[in-house]
Amino acid sequence: MGFVMYAKFPYYSVAQMYAMSLDMPVAIMLGGDLLYWVVDRQSEVEYQKIGCSLLSRSC
């Protein structure tokens, strides 16, 4: 399974609003580029392996 990323944002609050608007479980990660990544919950472990930090989960 590949990595699934929905969007990147410069502000955490914007990433939260976007994550809440999706009708699927997602995670918000802080990426190596210092942007907040909204990713599929099933991919969050793969993102952690490449150095991203898990900040929150949304259902």
Q: Among 17, 12, 3, 19, which Cα is nearest to 36's? A: 12
d(CA 24, CA 33): 25
Query: Taking the model in full, what pTM does it have?
Result: 0.90
CB 53 within 8 A of CB 27: no
Q: Indicate if the pLDDT at residue 53 is higher than 70.
A: yes
Reported as a single tens digit per residue, the pLDDT across 29-48 is: 999 999 999 999 999 999 99
d(CA 8, CA 14): 9
- Residues 6 or more apart whose CB falls under 8 angstroms from that of 50 comprise 32
